[in-house]
């Protein structure tokens, strides 16, 4: 095995190199990460333009596009890093959750490289990647709380210690990004709709009053399908009555409802679990309303808030490399018979306690 892998985990001497691959949804991405923290390359090829005309990701098309571009993207990432494939300490790949056909493309590529070059494989959890994107730009302090908001996930995750994940709340129906995309579609806005709703909401002068889904007292779970239905009801009633819909006011009302629930529950969880930091991650972390409201509440309550830059919030392979480093440090590798796991549990991916030799 590459010498650098043995030194992984030692802050001073960690020159480990991870080639990370991400193909769980509609981005084909490859990245090389040094020492778990330094991005040497992070190539992301988005399929948004292809899926835009269908109003959402078409799984079969996503897989085909991944197949077309994966080899080139990996080559480009390795070349840009200034190293070569044989220098890699490990090959990391998203094992799940995600679209099974899309995941398989990255997994087959990673396994082939791992086998041909005799480099260890690290099957990596996509949400752990979103959380550890923060490690690429900040220093995480434990215990901390992560608010994961993406197109497929809405979760509050407690990290008592490095690499140990405990999901304390999750959505019972739609993910936040999914709700944004569905509301945008009803307003005939392009896919993905999140940024369009965000823009409309920021420009609005009025705000449509919409419900908040708090669920049972003390619950950290979320639900956005009722809110989405309330938005659709406003749209339908306005159109049926032949009235002009104030789309901006509706977008703002929707964004305020989503934001208030997310911010309130996240800060309550921070207090209850004694978290020293709040980490925001996932594609919806780009939302200006959410960022502003969280920043204001965190400042008022003196809770440090970590948010990765936008390019590391949306799907990318650098975040997969950052998470995989947790396993490389502990020499916890994945067998070559590993399978794509569309429903991969985050808690099961936790590292075992770290024992320093």
Is 89 a binder of ligand KG4 (CB under 6 A)?
no
| Stretch of 173-181, 213-221, 321-329, 340-348 lying at the interface with ligand KG4 (CB under 6 A) | 173-181
Binds ligand KG4 (CB under 6 A): choice among 132, 165, 180, 333: 180
Question: Measuring CA to CA, how many Å separate 105 from each of 127, 160, 338?
Answer: 19, 33, 13
Q: Closest Cα to residue 9, out of 353, 325, 329?
A: 329
Q: How far is the CB of 252 from Zn ion (least distance, A)?
A: 26
The smaller minimum CB distance to Zn ion, of residues 4 and 287, is found at 287
**Among 29, 31, 81, 150, which residue sits at the site for Zn ion (rule: CB under 5 A)?**
150
CB-nearer residue toward Zn ion: 9 or 129: 129
Least separation in angstroms between CB 126 and Zn ion: 6
How many H helices and E strands in the chain? 12, 10
How many residues are there in the chain?
357
- The window from 9-17, 210-218, 244-252, 278-286 that contacts ligand KG4 (CB under 6 A) reads 278-286
Tell which one of 177, 253, 308, 321 touches ligand KG4 (CB under 6 A).
Answer: 177
**Helix H or strand E encompassing 291:** helix 288-300
Q: Which of 146, 128, 175 is nearest to 273 (CA)?
A: 146
**Contacting residue, 129, 192, 253, 321, with ligand KG4 by CB under 6 A:** 192
Q: What is the DSSP letter of 217?
A: T
Q: Count CB neighbours of 330 within 10 A.
A: 17
Segment interacting with ligand KG4 (CB under 6 A) among 14-22, 79-87, 149-157, 320-328: 149-157
- 149 strand-pairing partners: 154
Site string for ligand KG4, 281-320 (x = CB under 6 A): -xxx-xx--------------------------xx-----
Q: Among residues 269, 287, 286, which one has the least CA distance to residue 278? A: 269
Q: Which stretch binds ligand KG4 (CB under 6 A): 6-14, 68-76, 189-197, 322-330?
A: 189-197
Q: Which of 35, 129, 193, 308 binds ligand KG4 (CB under 6 A)?
A: 193
Structural contact between residues 88 and 34, judged by C-beta atoms closer than 8 angstroms: no
> What is the pattern of x (binds Zn ion, CB under 5 A) and - over residues 275-314?
----------------------------------------
Using the rule CB under 6 A, which residue among 55, 195, 226, 342 binds ligand KG4?
A: 195
Distance CA 310, CA 57 (A): 21
- Smallest separation, CB 198 to ligand KG4 (Å): 4
- CB of 187 or CB of 340, closer to Zn ion: 340
- Name the E strands within the chain: 17-22, 27-34, 38-46, 90-96, 121-125, 144-149, 154-159, 165-170, 277-281, 305-306
Q: What gap in Å lies between CA 22 and CA 60, rounded to an integer?
A: 17
- 8, 25, 113, 326: which one contacts ligand KG4 (CB under 6 A)? 25
Is residue 178 at the binding interface for Zn ion, with CB under 5 A as the rule? Answer: no
Other C-beta atoms closer than 10 Å to the C-beta of 300 total 9
Which positions from 309 through 328 interact with Zn ion, judged by CB under 5 A? 315
Between residues 148 and 278, which has the closer beta carbon with respect to Zn ion?
Answer: 148
> CB under 6 A: which stretch of 38-46, 135-143, 187-195, 215-223 binds ligand KG4?
187-195
Crossing angle of the two packed helices 247-272 and 194-203, in degrees rounded to 10: 100
- Distance CA(183)–CA(189), nearest Å, equals 9
Residues 6+ apart with CB under 8 A from 110: 21, 91, 92, 93, 121
Interface residues with ligand KG4 (CB under 6 A)? 25, 150-152, 177, 180-181, 192-195, 198, 282-284, 286-287, 314-315
Interface residues with Zn ion (CB under 5 A)? 150, 315
């Amino acid at each position: 095995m590459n010498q650098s892998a043995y030194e992984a985990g030692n802050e001073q001497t960690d020159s480990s190199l991870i080639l990370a691959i991400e193909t769980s949804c509609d981005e084909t991405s490859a990245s090389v990460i040094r020492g778990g923290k330094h991005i040497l390359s992070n190539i992301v090829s988005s399929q948004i333009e292809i899926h835009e005309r269908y109003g959402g990701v078409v799984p079969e098309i996503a897989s085909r596009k991944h197949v077309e571009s994966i080899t080139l993207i990996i080559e480009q990432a390795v070349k840009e890093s200034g190293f070569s494939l044989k220098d890699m300490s490990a090959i990391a790949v998203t094992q799940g959750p995600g679209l099974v056909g899309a995941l398989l493309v990255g997994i087959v590529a990673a396994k082939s490289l791992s086998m041909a070059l005799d480099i260890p494989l690290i099957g990596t959890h996509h949400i752990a990647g979103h959380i550890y994107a923060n490690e690429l730009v900040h220093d995480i302090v434990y215990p901390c709380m992560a608010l994961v908001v993406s197109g497929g996930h809405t979760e509050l995750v407690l990290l008592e210690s490095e690499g140990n994940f405990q999901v304390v709340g999750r959505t019972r129906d739609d993910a936040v990004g999914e709700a944004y995309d569905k509301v945008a579609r009803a307003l005939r806005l392009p896919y993905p709709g999140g940024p369009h709703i965000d823009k409309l909401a920021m420009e609005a002068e009025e705000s449509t009053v919409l419900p908040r889904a708090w669920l049972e007292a003390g619950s950290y779970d979320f639900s956005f399908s009722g809110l989405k239905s309330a938005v659709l009801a406003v749209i339908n009633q306005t159109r049926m009555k032949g009235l002009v819909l104030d789309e901006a006011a509706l977008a703002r009302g929707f964004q305020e409802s989503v934001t208030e629930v997310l911010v309130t529950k996240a800060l309550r969880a921070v207090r209850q679990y004694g978290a020293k930091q709040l980490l925001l991650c996932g594609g919806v972390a780009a939302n200006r309303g959410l960022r502003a409201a969280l920043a204001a509440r965190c400042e008022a309550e003196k809770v440090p808030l970590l948010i990765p830059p936008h390019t590391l919030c949306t799907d990318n392979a650098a975040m997969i490399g950052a998470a995989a480093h947790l396993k490389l440090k502990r020499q916890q590798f994945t067998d070559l018979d590993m399978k794509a796991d569309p429903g991969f549990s985050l808690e099961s991916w936790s590292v075992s306690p770290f024992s320093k030799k």
